Structure 1
Amino acid sequence: MSKMEYLKDMPIAVLGGGAVGKTCAADAKLAGREVRLYDMMPFAETTLANIDKTGILLDGVQRNLYCFERSGRAFFDIVTSDIEKAVKGAGLIVVAAPAMAHEPFFRALIPYLEDGQVVHIFTDNFATLLLRKLMREMGCTKKVIIGGWSSAPYGTRIENVNGFAFPHVGVKYRAITLRGASLPMSDIDDFLESSKYLPCIDAVTQGNGPEAGNTVLDIGFANINPVIHVPATILGVSTMENWGKIFGGYDKNSYSMYCHGLCPSICEVQYQFYEEEKAIAKAIGVGTPSYSYESFFSRRSVLTQEYMGLNKDGKDNVVFPLDQPSTEGNLGPNNINHRYLTEDVPVGCKIYHDLGVQYGVATPVIDSMIILAGAMHKKSFFETSKYSLAYLGIDNMSKEDLLEYLNNGNYRK
């Protein structure tokens, strides 16, 4: 019997009422599990409105190599803005919230953690480091397993009509592999084993399987959002802002960074951004995923591997050529006030920069993205971002002390 099999029949708490949270919750409920869906006030007034009556309809293309699909309308066991009610007695806790919401979510969660619970964070975005730091500060000594993933299990969107969000999520694709890690890494076997009892990643566990990263910093580098989103949004901003205006005949909401913004020069910048990430990881002594140069030059960039995989020669099974039109990409962003910049720059890019400074690696491409995004927003993300190594609790640490903490959980500064 699996050591983690006790999770099989325990409730699943999903924290976050956005597209990923609602999709994870609906997916798990349609798989036959007891599911509690939570969001924090005041957001819950909107995100959870009428969900107890309507449920959530999950459908969509759900593109993936092995054609895994699960659709239907899910009605949850509990829909609540009371986090104690959501997590009490739960075995698995899914955190599906934007990075900027992690701290308030964690401060609400920590007092109600129970021994034996397993926390899965989609997408990690250095949240495992933040959660462990807050647990230390708040005096929480519960024996819980905490881990994060390189991406969400899906490309998913909430149906939205003229600003009204319907109780309907459309899944564009399902990941068949995800990179995950626990903090500390001494919990990695149990963390990955627990994922077998989390239906929202069934397409992964029944696909190519989860892949263990080399510490949670590896998972920060494995998050492909900064490397794809930031250069493509900043360098493609003229196409985005002119869409539906100078480029007439288009609905402004039909713009897709993937379908309309990417070009060979932007893809080259993305690749060099990735090379800087690799250099930081190497200097610290942690891992990064491996992507070929050619994989960046596609209208889905390196994202395609997540749901369509690689062939026996290590090449992408599917390539969307840059010189041909495609409708495969997700829509958006429509303006610069989008998470592709407002989250991926002050979180991902900023932490990469700070790690580079602390461990002696120059990051000129990443730094240029932070500078340009700041100019567009009339601020300095170097100065205004709350994300720093001190915020995560790993500032002024030698490489040896950092690795000891990441791998074995022994925290010393």
Structure 2
Amino acid sequence: MKVAVLGTGSIGLASAALLGNGHEVTLWSPSGRGIEGLAEGRLSFAGAAAGEEPVQTSRELAGALAGAEVVIVAIPASGVQPILKECAALLRPGQAVFLMPMLSLAGLVLSQMLAARGVRCLIGGFGTTVMTARKSGPAEVRIHALRERLDVAGMPTGDTPQLIDLARQLFGDRFSAQSDLLAISLSQTNPVAHVPLALANLSRMERGEAWTQYDHMAGATSHMTVALDRERLAVARAFGLTVRSIEQHFHLSFGAPMVDFGDQCRWVHENLGSPTGPASLDTRYITEDVPYGLVFNARMGRMCGAATPVTDGCIALASAAYKRDFATGNALLNALDPELSGAPALLACLRSG
């Protein structure tokens, strides 16, 4: 298949690397800088998968989308809304769009934008990324792990089987159907894992220290993570949804035993190694995961009547540390149709369109 990958960060490059064997891949970078190192048309990758694959690049979004059967959006959440707006003006009926991962009901936002043009595309959200990866050079990426299982849902849910079939053709048999895009959005575990880790290590980040993630995620920090996660699960239950816990996520993603979350973090660190933590305050662990993860969870909690005091506290602490009101910084939530401000209307829209 012809696939357009939007984004040249770690996940964008890793996706292109895995897709290069069997599919025709075109990479596009929002700034244009990300494709400069790919001028020779080769992408190298190592780790859980290794090799070198050919890739094409496009400086124009229209050029990347023009011949694509499938579009994969692998852009930080803070930049997704304006990119979706550009895509909505260019996408053709029948094209498939995967958001990997999908935060804050981004698939619903895209669906509303396309509906304004009278265009219908297949829109799918991944509950997490197919892989964990770290960009190691302009044309190099290290793939740390390939997830054994992740969830997918379509917008509306009737499209989910077709989207899962497409996803399996692209990345293999690792996908399960989730009930709807709200369940996908509430499945995101990065925010509940990243935000406590960052808040507990602000001075390390600010000083640019070298430190490893998973061992620093254990102990007291793991207690914060589990408290956040239990609130996320409670919000999902209040909507009548079932999503995986952070412990189940670590078990399926890394093969960690089903034990206390802090012990899972130690197991991953000791058996698989640990990437270094952020070395700057300018990190998506706060600037993306607070507004597009925790703020979303808290907003959905208010919608369904589920209390989120630990989530609210982490949002307040991050806002104080950064002197920035993260509670108002979610452009995707701000773009949602105000008529979908109640739980019944939102669920009906997600399931029937």
TM-score, structure 1 as length reference: 0.78
Cα distance change of structure 1 residues 109 and 146 upon mapping to structure 2, 3 Å threshold:
same
Q: Which of these residues, 12, 29, 32, is aligned with residue 21 of structure 1? A: 12
Q: 1:209-251 CA distances to partner (integer Å, 9 max, x unpaired)?
A: 21222211111111111110011211233455567xxxxxxxx
Instruction: Give the partner amino acid of 2:26.
Output: R
Confirm whether residue 222 of structure 1 aligns to residue 212 of structure 2: no
User: C-alpha displacement at 1:304, in angstroms?
Assistant: 4.4
Confirm whether residue 386 of structure 1 aligns to residue 330 of structure 2: yes
Cα distance change of structure 1 residues 324 and 72 upon mapping to structure 2, 3 Å threshold:
closer
Q: Trace 1:327-346 onto structure 2 (pairs within 5 A).
A: 328-346=273-291
Q: 1:69-101 CA distances to partner (integer Å, 9 max, x unpaired)?
A: 3x222222x311212221123211111111111
- Paired residue for 2:228? 273
| Separation in structure 2 between the aligned mates of residue 48 and residue 324 of structure 1, nearest angstrom | 33
- Paired residue for 1:189? 161
Q: Secondary structure at the match of 1:321?
A: helix
User: C-alpha displacement at 1:388, in angstroms?
Assistant: 6.4
Q: 1:10-62 CA distances to partner (integer Å, 9 max, x unpaired)?
A: 31111111121112112211x1211111122xx21x211141315210112x1
| Separation in structure 1 between the aligned mates of residue 312 and residue 178 of structure 2, nearest angstrom | 25
Q: 1:151-175 CA distances to partner (integer Å, 9 max, x unpaired)?
A: 111111111xxxxx43110111111
| Separation in structure 1 between the aligned mates of residue 166 and residue 332 of structure 2, nearest angstrom | 30
Task: Name structure 2 gaps, 5 residues minimum.
Answer: none
| Separation in structure 2 between the aligned mates of residue 225 and residue 150 of structure 1, nearest angstrom | 10
- Paired residue for 1:147? 124
Q: Which of these residues, 400, 406, 410, is aligned with residue 344 of structure 2? A: 400
User: C-alpha displacement at 1:280, in angstroms?
Assistant: 1.3
The answer on whether the counterparts of 2:7 and 2:27 sit within 8 Å (CA) in structure 1 is: yes
Which one has the largest radius of gyration? 1
Q: Trace 1:232-311 onto structure 2 (pairs within 5 A).
A: 232-241=197-206, 252=209, 254-259=210-215, 261-290=216-245, 295=247, 302-308=249-255
The answer on whether the counterparts of 2:5 and 2:27 sit within 8 Å (CA) in structure 1 is: yes
- Equivalent pairs counted in the alignment come to 350
Confirm whether residue 134 of structure 1 aligns to residue 121 of structure 2: no
Task: Name structure 1 gaps, 5 residues minimum.
Answer: 1-9, 63-68, 160-164, 244-251, 297-301
User: C-alpha displacement at 1:353, in angstroms?
Assistant: 1.2
Confirm whether residue 212 of structure 1 aligns to residue 177 of structure 2: yes
Cα distance change of structure 1 residues 332 and 88 upon mapping to structure 2, 3 Å threshold:
same
User: C-alpha displacement at 1:133, in angstroms?
Assistant: 2.6
Instruction: Give the partner amino acid of 1:363.
Output: T
TM-score, structure 2 as length reference: 0.91
- Paired residue for 1:86? 64
Q: 1:333-390 CA distances to partner (integer Å, 9 max, x unpaired)?
A: 113220000000011111111112222221100011101111110122124x134644
Confirm whether residue 168 of structure 1 aligns to residue 140 of structure 2: yes
The answer on whether the counterparts of 1:264 and 1:322 sit within 8 Å (CA) in structure 2 is: no
| Separation in structure 1 between the aligned mates of residue 313 and residue 101 of structure 2, nearest angstrom | 24
Cα distance change of structure 1 residues 141 and 363 upon mapping to structure 2, 3 Å threshold:
same
CA RMSD of aligned residues (A): 2.5
- Paired residue for 2:98? 120
| Separation in structure 2 between the aligned mates of residue 382 and residue 111 of structure 1, nearest angstrom | 29
The answer on whether the counterparts of 2:5 and 2:71 sit within 8 Å (CA) in structure 1 is: yes
User: C-alpha displacement at 1:287, in angstroms?
Assistant: 2.7
User: C-alpha displacement at 1:321, in angstroms?
Assistant: 3.3
| Separation in structure 2 between the aligned mates of residue 192 and residue 14 of structure 1, nearest angstrom | 18
The answer on whether the counterparts of 2:193 and 2:225 sit within 8 Å (CA) in structure 1 is: yes
Instruction: Give the partner amino acid of 1:237.
Output: L
| Separation in structure 2 between the aligned mates of residue 389 and residue 395 of structure 1, nearest angstrom | 12
| Separation in structure 1 between the aligned mates of residue 110 and residue 268 of structure 2, nearest angstrom | 44
Cα distance change of structure 1 residues 350 and 395 upon mapping to structure 2, 3 Å threshold:
farther
Instruction: Give the partner amino acid of 1:232.
Output: L
Cα distance change of structure 1 residues 122 and 394 upon mapping to structure 2, 3 Å threshold:
farther
**Structure with the larger helix share:** 2
| Separation in structure 1 between the aligned mates of residue 64 and residue 279 of structure 2, nearest angstrom | 34
- Paired residue for 2:135? 158
User: C-alpha displacement at 1:309, in angstroms?
Assistant: 6.9
Instruction: Give the partner amino acid of 1:79.
Output: T
User: C-alpha displacement at 1:393, in angstroms?
Assistant: 2.7
User: C-alpha displacement at 1:281, in angstroms?
Assistant: 1.4
| Separation in structure 1 between the aligned mates of residue 316 and residue 341 of structure 2, nearest angstrom | 26
- Paired residue for 2:85? 107
User: C-alpha displacement at 1:123, in angstroms?
Assistant: 0.9
Cα distance change of structure 1 residues 332 and 323 upon mapping to structure 2, 3 Å threshold:
closer
Q: Secondary structure at the match of 1:48?
A: helix
Q: Secondary structure at the match of 1:371?
A: helix
